[in-house]
Amino acid sequence: MESDDSLRIWKQKIIKSVGEESISMIMTLIPEMELIVGQNHVTKTDENVDPVEQHRLFVKTIQRFIGVFTEAGRPIVISLDDMQVICKYNMIRRKLFEI
């Protein structure tokens, strides 16, 4: 269990890297992020946004999020377990593998 100070530091790093308006994308993929970043975040929804632009923003957000946990000399391992659960979110699965 992380200390309150440690969680506060991770929250600041994540929000600074991903951006307040994009954190909801991460929380859609990882609902447990609410325990770190809280639940009061701006959800930017614009129905007129081009799908290509949405895809670009999604990939950029995921890359920035992963970047929070990587640094020189500190590798990161990502385990994609139970991929069949994601099948109902086929679009998300395709986008994850395009990174």
pLDDT at 43: 58
Look at residue 13 in the predicted model and tell me its pLDDT. Answer: 93
pTM: 0.69
One digit per residue, the tens of pLDDT, for the chain of length 99 reads 778 898 999 999 999 999 888 888 888 888 899 989 988 665 555 567 788 888 888 889 999 999 998 888 888 887 777 666 555 556 665 666 665
Q: What's the chain look like in SS3?
A: CCCHHHHHHHHHHHHHHHCCCCHHHHHHHCHHHHHHHCCCCCCCCCCCCCHHHHHHHHHHHHHHHHHHCCECCECCCCCCCCHHHHHHHHHHHHHHCCC
